[in-house]
Amino acid sequence: MTIAQVFDYERPETLDEALEILIGHAGDVRVLAGGTDLIAWLRDEAVAPDLVVDIKRIEGLGEIVDEGDALSMGSLVTFTHLLNSEPVAARLPLISEMAATVASTGIRNRATMVGNICSAVPSCDAGPVLLVYGAVVHTVGVAGTRRIPIDEWFLGPRMTALGRGEIVTKVLVPVPPGGHGAAFVRLSRYEGEDLAQASVAILAPPDHRFRVAFGAVADTPVRARRVEALLEGKALDPVLVARAMALVSEEISPITDIRASKEYRLRMSEVMLQRGLKAAVERLEGNGPSYGTNLM
Amino acid sequence: MRMDVSVTVNGEPWLLSVEPNDVLLETLRSKVGVKSPKIGCERGDCGSCTVLLDGHTVRSCLVLSVEADGHEVVTIEGLDDEGLTELQQFFVDMNSFQCGFCAPGIVLAATELLEENPRPTREDVQEAIGGNLCRCTGYDPIIDAVLAAAHAGGEATG
Amino acid sequence: MTTLRPFERESTRGLDFVGKAAVRVDGLEKVSGAARYVDDLDFGPDLLYAEIVESPFANALIKAIDTSAAAAVPGVTKVVTGKDFPFKFGLYMKDRYVFAQDRVRFVGEQVAAVIARDPKVAKRAAKLVEVTYEELPPIFDPLEALKPDSELIHPDLGDYAHVPWFYPHENTNIAHWRKTRKGDVEQGFAQADLVLEGEYRVPRYAHCAIEPHVIVGLYDQSGRLTMWSASQSPYTQRHLFAEALAPLGLSHKDVRVITPYVGGGFGGKAGVSMEIMGAALATAAKGHPVKIRFTREQEFYNTYQRQGLVAHLKMGVKNDGTITAIRHILNWDAGAYVEYGANVVNAAGLSATGPYRVPNVWIDSKCIYTNLPPGGPYRGFGYSEFVFGLESHVDRVAEAIGMDPVAFRRKNAIVEGDILAYGAEMNPSGLIEAIDRTADAIEWGKEETSDDPNKAIGKGFAVFWKAPAMPPNASSASFLKFNEDGSMNISVSGMELGQGYMTAMAQIAGEVLAVPPTKIRVETPDTDRNPYEWQTVASHVTWSCGNAVYAAAVEAREKIFDVVHRVHGYEEESLYLEDESVRSSTDPDFKLPLRDFVIDGLEDTDGTFKGGPIVGSGKFMPEFTSTRSDPETSQGGHPNVHYTVGAAGVVLEVDRETGRMKVKKVALAVDVGKAINPSLIEGQITGGIVQGLATVLYEDMRFGEDGRLLNANFTDYKIPTAHDIPEETIPIIIEIAQPDGPFGARGVGEHTMIPAAPMIGNAIKDALGVRITSMPITAEKVALSVLREKSEE
């Protein structure tokens, strides 16, 4: 197991200390939380920082807090922590459903949801889910705090709105008022651990102002606004859903790579939208498949 | 940049001198001499490097040694001072493993499962060991042993 | 060959250990963490590490190598290139160099190596080795390589040393061409009521043992070379190292190979692949141990891969289902070096009729060089590859004549005494029983439907067979010794890969000597101490080494009876062993514990001692095999010792829209002759089925246009997890004794993978009406095939 490249390592105890280090360092810096992406990238030499800043000692970043009409998740909250959280399961079931599909226990015990959206690979699982929930990313930098709506977070493959010298402190996820049904559907090559070749997150609120977001089929996770507009406020019937499916090719731009072909990704995105909408509405009405059921 | 790391491994405190780019898996194997976590893929895909870090399974190939400072690592050598745990005995008696390379990681994953969920379903076991690749067994004999151990444990505690 | 051994005649009590599901003798070590694999061994602070410099091109001349920058890095002890080791090596053909010489033939081929104190330094310095290449046009398609005007990948093919039963065609890319001709296929096709042709494509696959290859070598100051190797074949490795490094004056006795536990082999750790570099680098660093540990990526692209195949099959049948003729053309993508892989081609070329009675046979099996990683031994050794096409084709033929595909197979199933494609006779085997019991297990004939309108359920069937593919004189030897307390050590050089070989050997010896396997240790190989074993491949060591262990145990027993006779007077014919003691059929009160004398000898009436340490030695080599046959027809030889046969069936649920497949039930019946340990046989069935299913359902090797392997990791080359297993697996063990096997046993390790791909292909056809003739049959392929069919309607 060899990481040949050389870098320094700092482990600040407070946010202020961390920011000082980030600002003060002239070269390439990487923030280390769970490390399940960063360590592999260091070994593969996909990144070449001279300094790695480990934020795991900083207090206050590891909590899930009930803020009333929202839940906030600290940047050090792991996927396991999310999965074990009853408030998350009860009030934001799509996050629980998504968290259970991420990798495996040994990865989830370290990997953080915030790390997932900071790595921002096009197939990142948390992306579509946070998009439909309308999450807000809270950061802190030398210039102060920022609140970045998730719509403005993903800028491109592995590119986010996070600035130099900034650290994410938490993600605030509003709880849709009046209840909701939801579904997170994922295309993978088999039942086992796999990166998504396509994914869709669907939010079905009581007023049927659906929110739909796709992952792994564009440079970033994307909201499917045409589909949303088509479905808004309506009862779903097969004809309407078929029309929605026909719009999918306008919403996404899948590629052919070693994991899947463009054609398969596109066709499956349509199928996933169909199955996801059905499950989300059934769950809204209280008689859907339990969260975590694989619809594919 | 050499750094000192204090880490407890299988109940024993160690003071190690490491570089930031020393991965925990390699440090455990070469500096501490604990051989059960294996090098299989170096990307966190195969699970053969699994250790318990503060009681939770992690892929030690994705942890820097410096991150372990102040923490506790347990591997299968440290599960039981006397010998094998009941779960391990079931694995032996039911011929669960073949080449054995995945065994340490799977033993820890199953140990973690039974501590958190003494009455797992078959699907729970599959999920718990889902990140540990085994090329030899087809997994059934492993899953059977975990369920048998869970069942026996349930009877024992009544 | 069917006479029973004396032991079996006298044994009326049944077997105590053989045939029982004994606990593995290595289980405790592996579950406790005590088991040691090569990378776990410590070699002290003097250990050096090597990093390999690899070719980025699939086909290129090496114009120059500048190692000066790398050599200057502090901590680097040496940099070596091909010039330092201009030695050829190879198992069946010597077509490979330790490091590339004047040209490279696949992306990833080793060109140079940097040896350093610290692996990080080696890794950094390796990047500084500058190699100047002149690119040549690469060939990746075996059919392209066959064209008369194509580039020669091995222009010197005609000069390569090889075993006499290989037929290279110089000035072509055909490294070997096995031709089997029996009867007259044209007449056979003329007699047929139906003739069907088909083409089937099978890509390359990777073994993916969880332990990567690793080698440590020490060429000590006295000139003795010791290698610690994660290998299935310590003796073959020793031989190849000694041969390749012969210019250094090494005698076999001065080369020692030690193999501790191996973390999975599947054929990939047979022969010699990356280990040759370990041996060479050891000699370049005299006095210091040197380690090469392959990364998972290197494991994928620079150790043996399973060859790719383009197969063309033509089958003639009568309306009643009788096969009249088979023509099977096998064009193998064998890779850049075929020193081992050519035997895969050879094996398939002898057996590509499948387990059927076929009067007229034409097989061409061509080993074709391509600019891809070297092909080599992989569980199944060519049989999985050709059985995919054959067993898919059989279903198509049966359908064409309106016959049930299982009934078709049953009708043509080969039985004892039938003449094989190369003229020898088929051994005893229970194929009919396997077919019948498998068909029952999956309720063949009963259609099943799913409640889910998206899902269809199909059933698929396949038969399989395989013979060990070995030189005619592959052999095994065994020592065994008793200890003071009556326990035993068995010394053999077969490799415990996980298959349970050590346990089987203990059960065999224990049965003969009436000692429970729990009191028997089987030692991992060390060529200094353990006697010869050709290799642990071919699913043959239970049979071959089992016979050697049996012989050693019998010899030890003879010595036991001799000393008891000399001191106590009982006739040897009246003596037998029971419960670790010597008993007499003429004196029921006589019970002499072995522990009393197996080291110390027996005290005689006059106070002297007779006997002494009881040791046994045994060997086994088949004396009826021969590769001397007509090169144009393969008639006249007896290349294969015997076949293991079986059948498998699957109940498959498939989602019409997504193509996602779920194996609801799979049954596999295999005739093992005698199950030495039924639990271990079931382990091979369960594990082999899962590995076989993986090759058809989702393992998918992808090469770039430049010949680089794009998915050299588990992130993108998917192997089964605990989620990816059948809902129900039904193992069926059949026992039609192998007359020359220990207690009737024959091998089973590879066979359980072989039927997976065609039975899935046949189940998909049953469920969706779509016939897919290329592997892998992924969800994507199924979904897009269904869509294509729909749009064509």
For residues A296 and A294, give the distance between their C-alpha atoms in angstroms, rounded to a whole number: 5
Q: Is the pLDDT of residue C790 over 90?
A: no
Strand-pair partners of C615? C481
Strands of the sheet containing C661-671, edge to edge, are C455-466, C644-655, C661-671, C729-734
For residues C707 and C549, give the distance between their C-alpha atoms in angstroms, rounded to a whole number: 46
pLDDT of residue C10: 44
Which residues between 291 and 310 in chain C have a beta carbon less than 8 angstroms from any beta carbon of chain B? 293, 295-296
Chain B contact present for A11, CB below 8 A = yes
- Whether A189 sits inside 8 A of C718 (CB atoms) is yes
**Residues spanned by the domain of A34:** 8-54
Same domain, A80 and A36: no
pLDDT of residue C4: 42
Domain boundaries, chain B: 3-78, 86-156
Burial class of residue C410 in the structure, from the number of CB atoms within 10 Å of its CB (0-12 exposed, 13-18 middle, 19+ buried): middle
Partners of residue B91 in chain C, C-beta under 8 Å: 27, 31
CATH number of the domain located at residue range(s) B86-156 in this protein: 1.10.150.120
For residues C631 and A290, give the distance between their C-alpha atoms in angstroms, rounded to a whole number: 65
Q: Is the pLDDT of residue C791 over 90?
A: no
The chains found to touch C (3+ Cβ pairs under 8 angstroms) are: A, B
Average pLDDT in the C635-641 region? 95
The Cβ of residue C148 has, within 10 Å, a number of other Cβ atoms equal to 6
**Token pair belonging to C387:** 């059985």
User: How does the average pLDDT of chain B come out, rounded?
Assistant: 96
- List the single residue in C with minimal CA-CA distance to B143: C722
* Alpha carbon of C659: minimum distance to chain A alpha carbons (Å): 9
Same fold? B3-78, B86-156: no
Last residue of a domain, one of A174, A193, A218: A174
Q: Is the pLDDT of residue C8 over 60?
A: no
Last residue of a domain, one of A125, A152, A174: A174
Closest CA to B27 of B6, B55, B56, B57: B6
CATH code of A148's domain: 3.30.465.10
Which residues between 200 and 259 in chain A have a beta carbon less than 8 angstroms from any beta carbon of chain C? 258-259
Q: Is the pLDDT of residue C16 over 50?
A: yes
DSSP string, A228-261: HHHHTTPPP-HHHHHHHHHHHHHH------SS--
- List the single residue in C with minimal CA-CA distance to A264: C780
Q: Structurally, how many domains does chain A consist of?
A: 3
Residue B146's H or E segment, with its range, is helix B140-157
Is A203 a domain residue?
yes
C461: phi then psi, degrees, rounded to nearest 5: -135, 150
Partners of residue C783 in chain A, C-beta under 8 Å: 264, 267-268
Residue contacts between B and C (CB atoms, under 8 Å): 163
CATH code of A245's domain: 3.30.390.50
Q: Is the pLDDT of residue A137 over 70?
A: yes
Fill in the amino acid letter for A229. Answer: A
* Alpha carbon of A294: minimum distance to chain C alpha carbons (Å): 12
> Is-cis flag, bond preceding C776, omega within 30?
yes
Is A3 a domain residue?
no
Q: Is the pLDDT of residue C401 over 60?
A: yes
Q: Is the pLDDT of residue B157 over 60?
A: no
Partners of residue C29 in chain B, C-beta under 8 Å: 100
Q: What is the pLDDT of residues C295-343, one digit of tens each?
A: 999 999 999 999 999 999 999 999 999 999 999 999 999 999 999 999 9
Is A291 a domain residue?
no
Closest CA to C172 of C153, C187, C188: C153
Q: Is the pLDDT of residue B158 over 60?
A: no
pLDDT of residue C248: 87
- Whether C783 sits inside 8 A of A264 (CB atoms) is yes
pLDDT band at C361 (very low <50, low <70, confident <90, very high): very high
Chain B contact present for A2, CB below 8 A = yes
* Alpha carbon of B94: minimum distance to chain A alpha carbons (Å): 25
For residues C546 and C541, give the distance between their C-alpha atoms in angstroms, rounded to a whole number: 7
- List the single residue in B with minimal CA-CA distance to C299: B41
For residues C213 and A16, give the distance between their C-alpha atoms in angstroms, rounded to a whole number: 47
For residues C479 and C485, give the distance between their C-alpha atoms in angstroms, rounded to a whole number: 18
Please give the residue that has the higher pLDDT: either B157 or C568.
C568
For residues B126 and C82, give the distance between their C-alpha atoms in angstroms, rounded to a whole number: 48
Q: Is the pLDDT of residue B35 over 90?
A: yes
- List the single residue in B with minimal CA-CA distance to C717: B45
Fill in the amino acid letter for C476. Answer: S
pLDDT of residue C12: 53
The chains found to touch A (3+ Cβ pairs under 8 angstroms) are: B, C
Distance, CA of C47 to chain centre? 32
The Cβ of residue C63 has, within 10 Å, a number of other Cβ atoms equal to 11
Asked whether the CA dihedral C587, C593, C599, C604 is positive or negative, the reply is negative
pLDDT of residue A1: 61
Residue contacts between A and B (CB atoms, under 8 Å): 98
Min mean pLDDT across A107-121, A215-229, C13-27, C527-541 is at C13-27
Share of chain C above pLDDT 90, in %: 96
For residues C487 and A65, give the distance between their C-alpha atoms in angstroms, rounded to a whole number: 64
Is A293 a domain residue?
no
Tell me which residue in A1, A9, A40 faces B20 most closely, judged by beta carbons.
Answer: A9
For residues A151 and A135, give the distance between their C-alpha atoms in angstroms, rounded to a whole number: 8
pLDDT of residue B27: 98
Partners of residue A296 in chain C, C-beta under 8 Å: 655, 658, 660
- Fold of the domain built from segment(s) B3-78: Ubiquitin-like (UB roll) (3.10.20)
- Whether C787 sits inside 8 A of A260 (CB atoms) is no
The phi-psi region of residue A35 (left if phi > 0; otherwise alpha if psi is between -120 and 50; otherwise beta) is: left
Same domain, A218 and A118: no
Partners of residue A262 in chain C, C-beta under 8 Å: none
- Whether A43 sits inside 8 A of B128 (CB atoms) is no
Average pLDDT in the C752-764 region? 98
Is A42 a domain residue?
yes
CATH code of A45's domain: 3.30.43
Q: Is the pLDDT of residue C3 over 70?
A: no
pLDDT of residue B155: 53
- Whether A271 sits inside 8 A of C658 (CB atoms) is yes
